[in-house]
Amino acid sequence: MRIDRWGRGLLAALALSVLWPSSAWAFDLPELMGLLAQQKSGEARFTEQRFVHGLEGPLDASGVLSFTAPDRLTRRTLSPRPETMSVEGNTLTLSRSGRTRTLALDSMPELLGMVEAMRGTLSGNAQSLQRYFRSSLSGSANGWTLDLQPIDPRLAAQVRSMRLSGRGGEVLGIDMEFIGGDRSVMSITPERGAGAAAATPVRSTP
């Protein structure tokens, strides 16, 4: 039986689908890091619930997050009491009740790992992120989840896991589980002013 032109075209398409498996189109970590790296700075509102083992109900906090590439990250808590935590390079600055304290991040390895997880994600620096965590990405550019498992022993003694979720080049949520049963759940709402993320890029199919 002869195969007409339409049939030959169908066979060619089937052959290509075998030679080019569906996994080749999967949304992967380098693509996510590329989207995140496009955002050089930004500001967002956050709300956080901290579930502490032995306490009834969560501890609530809210405020403003800001990031300026490559390594400046600031968390300004407005409620329940004003306080600011700012990280730039290896320096951590804490301000509360009119008093300021400055610390070197590398003197606190567990905190350094968490900060690098955030900065590595926000700046699209996969090398920095993977220095401290094993990563697993699911979803697509329109809605992704990045699961992080600590590989640094000192960090793993404090943090069980981190899960970051977002859309395009925006981080919209952070869920952290700590050794001992505590948990932090943060929701993030990016400000849409100057420097905010552009519209989410969508993968095109050739």
Angle between helices 29-37 and 109-123 (to 10 degrees): 80
* Residue entry with tokens 């400046």: 72
* The pLDDT of residue 193: 58
Residue 177 has φ and ψ, to the nearest 5°, of -115, 130
Element (H, E) at 16: helix 5-19
| Residue 79 to residues 60, 61, 62, 101, Cα–Cα distance (Å) | 8, 5, 5, 20
* The pLDDT of residue 121: 87
Contacts of 163 (CB under 8 A, 6+ apart): 145, 146, 147, 148, 173, 174, 175, 176
* The pLDDT of residue 33: 93
Distance CA 131, CA 47 (A): 28
* pTM of the predicted structure, to 2 decimals: 0.78
Per-residue pLDDT of the chain (206 residues; tens, 9 = 90+): 444 544 444 334 434 333 334 344 578 999 999 999 988 888 999 999 999 988 888 999 999 999 998 889 999 999 999 999 999 989 999 999 889 999 998 888 778 888 888 888 888 888 888 888 999 999 999 999 999 999 988 889 889 999 999 999 999 999 999 999 999 999 999 987 544 433 333 343 33
| Residue 52 to residues 48, 55, 63, 118, 127, Cα–Cα distance (Å) | 13, 6, 20, 22, 32
Contacts of 64 (CB under 8 A, 6+ apart): 43, 44, 45, 46, 75, 76, 78
* The pLDDT of residue 11: 39
Look at residues 77, 100, 97, 74 and name the one whose alpha carbon lies nearest to residue 87: 74
Look at residues 123, 62, 56 and name the one whose alpha carbon lies nearest to residue 89: 123
Look at residues 167, 171, 131, 163 and name the one whose alpha carbon lies nearest to residue 146: 163
